[in-house]
């Protein structure tokens, strides 16, 4: 076999600047609003709130910080249960531990790969029996796809338990025409470097509860009380976003819609080019939802191919292509080894199957078509052997 030198690495998801960010950063420099906070932060918060259709947004240093603030606002304390999607990044659940809470993990269902209403119902029924209801439910929208919000919200309302929607990956997505991230009492988005838009690092907490979001701002600024000296009665955090980074965010927000269209187009090309391979099933898009297709993901049908996901990943790596396993379910993580977990059906754990069979492909909004064809050829070669 002739070794070919492949110089250009293709990444999973890269930052994609609009060119407008520098205007906002320059403004900040010229007015010396380098820190703390400042006009870019205020404007960024208003722009996001308007865009997703909520009353208030608080810009913070990460999506993880936004989840932590939401849990803190809901009064999660030592020993409190929090129901949480299992099929997600660890950042969803880490803040439960920061508060001393106990996560209880809920499986996915096949139509959205997100939280299973039947598993959630089972977890609630059990909690009622044990007289230990959760204080919050964290619902995740993976890879841009909204969870089955109607069903999930109805269950949480029935038990009168508030929802935090982890929309870190689904900014720009919608469920029945309403923005993803706006279905719970609190929603969070992330602007980490690999997300659909980025501030290099950052996040935002959104809600229609304006009064409690004022409290979030206060908690995120060391819980500093309005007094002529430094006065504090509560434990606070240093979680606010800098005025420079908010400037990047404003430049990115202007092109969010284009970024969503570009990622959806990346998905369409994969789908078109790989339909001939019978072992591939792409992550579905639920009827009446609109996914930003942050990452294109598919599963391999084990009955139709002997190739495993690990082997496919190795082949892509040899081609200098960065692809990844889908998230390893949190209930399978050593960190959460003794944590309670409710599966979709009694003997069927959907997210475990997805983990075994699933892969995420390079999906950047600035992915060149030639590069994408390189990924496609690599997959075709491996799977049509």
Ligand X SMILES: *Cc1c(COP(=O)(O)O)cnc(C)c1O
Tell me, rounded to whole angstroms, the distance of Cα 250 from its chain centroid: 20
- CB nearer to ligand X: give 167 or 274: 167
If one asks whether residue 185 binds ligand X (CB under 6 A), the answer comes out as no
Q: Residue 147 and residue 167: Cα distance in Å, rounded?
A: 10
- The nearest distance, CB 9 to ligand X, in angstroms, is 22
Burial of 134-173, coded b for 16+ CB within 10 Å and e otherwise, reads bbbbbbbbbbbbbbbbebbbebbeebebbbbbbbbbbbbb
- Assign residue 205 a region (left: φ > 0; alpha: ψ between -120 and 50; beta: otherwise): beta
Determine which residue in the list 18, 192, 299, 349 makes contact with ligand X, applying CB under 6 A. Answer: 192
- Does 134 bind ligand X (CB under 6 A)? Our answer is no
Backbone conformation region of residue 116, classed left if phi is above 0, alpha if psi is from -120 to 50, else beta: beta
* DSSP secondary structure string for all residues of 118-146: HHHHHHHHHHHHTT---SEEEEE-GGGPP
With binding defined as CB under 6 A, does residue 170 bind ligand X? no
- Nearer to ligand X among residue 192 and residue 343 (C-beta): 192
Q: Which of 99, 180, 182, 190 binds ligand X (CB under 6 A)?
A: 190
- Give the total of residues touching ligand X (CB under 6 A): 14
Minimum CB separation from ligand X for residue 230, in Å?
28
User: C-beta of 199: minimal distance to ligand X in Å?
Assistant: 9
Q: Which of 244, 269, 308 is nearest to 59 (CA)?
A: 244
Contact between 92 and ligand X per CB under 6 A: yes
Q: Does 203 bind ligand X (CB under 6 A)?
A: yes
H-only helix segments in 74-191: 94-98, 117-129, 149-158
Neighbours of 21 (CB within 10 A): 22
CB of 163 to ligand X, least distance (A): 15
C-beta of 253 vs 383, nearer to ligand X: 253
In contact, 53 and 182? CB cutoff 8 Å: yes
CA nearest neighbour of 110 among 349, 295, 272:
349
Take residue 47 and report the two structure tokens written for it: 């722009």
Which stretch in 114-122, 161-169, 317-325, 374-382 sits in contact with ligand X by CB under 6 A? 161-169
- Residue in 62, 114, 180, 365 binding ligand X, rule: CB under 6 A: 62
The interface region with ligand X, picked from 27-35, 40-48, 88-96, 119-127 by CB under 6 A, is: 88-96
If residue 104 lies in a helix (H) or strand (E), which one and from where to where?
Answer: strand 102-106
Shortest Å distance, C-beta 166 to ligand X? 5
The residue range among 4-12, 58-66, 151-159, 313-321 that interacts with ligand X, by the rule CB under 6 A, is: 58-66
* Rounded Cα distance, 179 and 264, in Å: 17
Least separation in angstroms between CB 381 and ligand X: 30
Q: Which residues bind ligand X (CB under 6 A)?
A: 62-64, 88-89, 91-92, 140, 166, 168-169, 190, 192, 203
């Amino acid at each position: 076999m002739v070794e070919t030198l492949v110089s250009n690495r293709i990444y999973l998801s890269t930052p994609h600047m609009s060119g407008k960010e520098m205007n906002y950063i320059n403004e900040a420099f010229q007015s010396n609003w380098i820190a703390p906070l400042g006009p870019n932060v205020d404007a960024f918060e208003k722009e996001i709130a308007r865009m997703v259709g909520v009353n208030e947004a608080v810009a913070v240093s990460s999506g993880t910080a936004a989840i932590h603030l939401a849990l803190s606002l809901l009064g999660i304390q030592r020993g409190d249960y929090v129901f949480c999607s299992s099929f997600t990044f660890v950042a969803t659940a880490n803040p439960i531990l920061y508060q001393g809470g106990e996560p209880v993990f809920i499986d996915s269902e096949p139509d959205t790969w997100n939280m299973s209403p039947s598993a959630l119902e089972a977890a609630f029924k059990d909690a009622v029996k044990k007289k230990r209801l959760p204080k919050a439910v964290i619902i995740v929208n993976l890879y841009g796809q909204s969870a089955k919000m109607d069903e999930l919200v109805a269950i949480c309302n029935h038990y009168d338990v508030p929802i935090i929607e982890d929309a870190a990956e689904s900014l720009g997505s919608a469920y029945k025409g309403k923005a993803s991230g706006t279905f719970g009492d609190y929603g969070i988005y992330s602007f980490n470097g690999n997300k659909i838009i980025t501030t290099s690092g950052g996040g935002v907490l959104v809600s229609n509860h304006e009064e409690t979001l004022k409290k979030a701002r206060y908690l995120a600024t060391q819980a500093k009380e309005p007094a002529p000296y430094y006065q504090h009665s509560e434990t606070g955090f240093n979680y606010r976003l800098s005025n420079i980074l908010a400037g990047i965010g404003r430049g990115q927000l202007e092109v969010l819609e284009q970024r969503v269209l570009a990622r959806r187009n990346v998905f369409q090309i994969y789908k078109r080019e790989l339909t001939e391979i019978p072992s591939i099933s792409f992550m579905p898009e639920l009827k009446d939802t609109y996914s930003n297709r942050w990452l294109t993901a598919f599963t391999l049908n084990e009955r139709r191919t002997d190739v495993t996901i690990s082997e496919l990943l190795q082949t892509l790596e040899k081609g200098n292509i960065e692809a990844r396993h889908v998230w390893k379910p949190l209930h399978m993580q050593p960190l959460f080894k003794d944590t309670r977990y409710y599966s979709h059906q009694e003997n069927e754990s959907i997210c475990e199957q997805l983990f075994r069979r699933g892969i995420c492909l390079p999906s950047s909004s600035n992915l060149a078509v030639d590069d994408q064809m390189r990924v496609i050829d690599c997959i075709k070669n491996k799977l049509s052997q």
